Structure 1
Amino acid sequence: MAALQRSKKRIIVFSAVGVLVIALVLLLVLGSKKDNIIPVQVEEAQKRTITQIVTASGKIRPEFLVNISAEVSGELIALPVKEGDRVKKGELLVRIKPDVYIAAVNQAEAGYRSAKASLEKAEADYHRAKELFAKKLNAEQDLQMAKMTYDVAKAGADQAKAGLDRAKEDLSKTSIYSPLDGTVSKLNSQLGERVLGTSFMSGTVIMTIADLTKMEGIMDVSENDVVLVHIGDTTSLDVDAVPGKKFRGVVKEIANTAATTGLGTQQEVVNFPVKVRIVGDVSQLRPGMSATGDIQTQTKSDVLSVPIQSVTTRAPKQPPADGQEGGAPAAAQASDAKKKVEKPTEIVFVVKDGKVKAVPVERGISDDSHVEITKGLSGGETIVSGSFKAINTDLQDGMAVKVEKSRATSGKGS
């Protein structure tokens, strides 16, 4: 009897353990199924206005800027302007000591007078020789000699005249006048300093004159974005030194040659300088200020769009490989495998009846938040817009999802 009771107890214990194991297995199975339901956020595909923007950084500088360099060497004996002064076109900026150049003019004038006198004498001798030759009173050789003397004297006079003109030109360069209305934005030299002329080298840059009423931004646009930029594109500029204020500009020039930094290194960067004319009040701007510009390259109204993060890529599904005979050449197998390699397809995930469908799409222009869809959607679809991990790694076609919270839509217009 006791043995029978112990047997019944074992059966009860084992049964309870079995029920518990079955319950745990069911719990794990159901729990794993529940975990496969991926939480997502969604947004409706709808029409809006999209403005494509290229962002670039650069420096502010005047549209018109002239470096005033000495064309002749000497000591600065007059410097009537200082940095920050407004100057008018034709106003005296610099005077270099002229003594040496005055002496050179005097010497050249004396040489020219001497050469001119020699020319007059040679010309008179030549005319007399021609008269005597006409009367057959001298030989042809004498006529030719007189002609040669005249030609040499004429060349000498021309050379002396050119030397005098050059000496006068050098003397005139000892006084430098402003080539434009503007501001002395930089003054490099002081009264009494010696400066070098530009005759055989780059002359001393004495000062810089700039028209600060007309400013521009020199923006460095990457090689990938420069093809999107066109003359006349509207630009919004943020200047670091003037926080909270937007400056408006227009693209006026796009460089044809790139400016490369770090050539041949891993840090190599290729940019194209783009000049943006700033319109409106520029009184707060100074040359050399740092700026960031948003160049509006294209605007499309009433186009179908989705959040920019909703567009992702997936590798296309590969069809099951057909069985091959054991004796198939390895080269043929490799060729077939190469043919099956395709580029990833751009898709969005459309939510319907609690599941997602991967829909291939083609993109157009984009702004900082939305991208135009030119093919694949008709509008009104519920598009997965988050999370980033779900869109880019977790989701696959046909998976079950749970909509956590729809993103607020802004209607038409961005």
Structure 2
Amino acid sequence: MLGIIAILIAVKLMFFPSPPPPIVVVFEKVQKRNITQLVSGSGEIRPEIEVKLAPEVSGEIISLPVVEGQKVKRGDLLFRINPTRAKEELNQATASLHGMKAQTLQVKARLLQAQDNLRRQQELYEQKLISEIEYISLKTNVEIEDANYQAAIFNEKRQESILRQSEEQLERTSVFSPIDGIVTLVNSKLGERVVGAIQNAGTEILRVADLSQMEVQLDVNENDIVKVSLNDTALIYVDAYPKITFEGIVREIANVAKTKGTGTQEQVTNFLVKIRIRKKDTCELKTGMTSAVDVKTETARNVLSVPIQSVTTRNASSATFTEAADYSKDKVPSTTTTTKKRFNNETIRVVFIKENNIVRQYPVETGISDNGYIEIKKGLDEDMEVVAGSYKAISKELSDSSRVTEQKNDFEKRKRP
């Protein structure tokens, strides 16, 4: 008898295997919400206006009356380069100009003399008292002296230009603050020899910045930059002020990308976005502070939404879907509908809807998303119950008609905001 019972059990297990245990899931209702799409990243706080100052002439620093953190006004002396060489060049240019002016007067005198001689000889020529060859020679001499005079005037003007350049060169030995601000960096010391910016990039001696208006310089990935627009608002979280949220506005978006790791697998393409900070009176933001930024790129109000983790993807060629695939609200099937529809060979987004003790696979059209929820444009109705967890069940285990059991827990409290 025991043998017969064992045989019957084996036959049952072979031809009538027991169904797999139901998958434990968490449900959440489809609801209408306001969703704000965010582009997030980390950035560095910098002043909107920061001036890097390098001398235009090379030489030794003979005066450096400022230190880091010092407030300066527009026109205050920041540093002075030894002017000895510039003064010598100015004296030489002045002397050369005086010589040119004397030479011009001499040439002018010769021209006037040649013109006067030509007038007197012209009367004799008209009376046939001198030959035509002599007259032409006198006329040619006037033209030569006139050309010499014009050349002397040109040389004089050129020397005046050289003199002005020498005067400017002497003025450039003293550098004054171009703005009201604070000295944020001093790279050089008194007595150090520096290279002028006229010759090449020059030696950066110090920086002056206006710290009354700060910004965040944010690197945004090429996939997200198309979502960001001028005047988008942003929330800024500064590490130094963990309990304070700053507000900002996008004021500048780069048109040229910055690429790191070109030609490697780690290549990253970013665009620089500058966000003006609306400073709070109680906070003092400093250059170089790090921050996290959420740029609000778009807002959809009162739209159907589900948790982000509820939406997954499936290959349509290997799965069947409910009639809701038509994305028509009035065609969404009731819980008794069992109609199936096969799609083309493509990957589409789906959610799993509660239907008694099983779930149905619904294709959906999604919109924007925030940190916790994603907009559903087509495919679902309000108050439907979608599977909201676990991630493993949604992404791998569930399929159309899968048996499920609901887990009762504090999922609502643990959801991302």
Letter in 1 for 2:18: S
Q: Where do 1:220-299 residues align within 5 Å?
A: 220-281=219-280, 283-299=283-299
Q: Identity of paired residues, percent?
A: 40
1:45 aligns with 2:30: yes
Structure 1 residue aligned with 2:62: 77
1:254-307 CA distance string (max 9 Å, x none)? 111110000001111111110011112375322222221111111111000011
Unaligned runs of 5+ in 2: 123-134, 321-342
Residues 192 and 67 of structure 1, relative CA distance in 2, 3 Å threshold: same
- In 2: Cα distance, 1:130 partner to 1:36 partner: 122
How far is 1:241 from its partner?
3.2
CA contact (8 A) 1:43 1:408 kept: no
Structure 1 counterpart of 2:176: 177
- Structure 1 stretch 363-372 or stretch 192-201: which is displaced more? 192-201
Task: Report the Cα distance in structure 2 between the residues aligned to 1:212 and 1:29, rounded to whole angstroms.
Answer: 80
Matched letter for residue 368 of structure 1: N
Out of 43, 48, 52, the position equivalent to 1:63 is 48
**Cα deviation code 1:169-194 (max 9, x no counterpart):** 11111111000001110001111111
Letter in 2 for 1:354: N
Question: What one-letter code is carried by the residue in structure 1 that aligns with 2:65?
Answer: P
1:23-78 deviations in Å (ceiling 9; x for gaps): 57668998832x34222110000101111111111211110011110111121111
Equivalent position of 1:215 in the other structure? 214
2:8 — aligned with what? 22
3-state SS of 1:218 partner? strand
1:221-243 Cα offsets, whole Å, 9 max, x none, are 00101000111111111223333
Does residue 1:189 correspond to 2:188, yes or no? yes
Aligned partner of residue 211 in structure 2, secondary structure: coil
Contact 2:37 2:368 in 1 (8 A): yes
User: What does residue 332 of structure 2 align with?
Assistant: none
Distance, in Å, in 2 between the alignment partners of 1:252 and 1:29 is 70
1:167 is matched with which residue?
A: 166
Q: Does 1:362 align with 2:348?
A: no
Q: Show structure 1 runs of 5+ residues with no match.
A: 1-14, 321-339
Alignment match, 2:354: 351
Q: Which residue of 2 aligns with 1:158?
A: 157
> What SS class does the counterpart of residue 118 from structure 2 fall into?
helix
Specify the alignment match of 2:199 in structure 1. Answer: 200
Does structure 1 residue 141 correspond to structure 2 residue 127? Answer: no
SS of the residue corresponding to residue 316 of structure 2 reads coil
Q: Partner residue of 1:5? A: none
Alpha-carbon contact 1:42-1:407 (below 8 Å) kept = no
**What is the alpha-carbon root mean square deviation over aligned residues?**
2.3
Tell me which residue corresponds to 1:375: 378
Instruction: Report SS of the residue matched to 1:345.
Output: strand
- 1:312 is displaced (CA, Å) by 1.0
Q: Quick one: distance in 1 between partners of 2:318 and 2:91?
A: 94
Shift of 1:20: 4.5
Rounded Cα–Cα distance in structure 2 between residues aligned with 1:259 and 1:341: 40
Structure 1 contact 258–272 (Cα < 8 Å) conserved: yes
Pick which of 263-272 and 396-405 moved more.
396-405
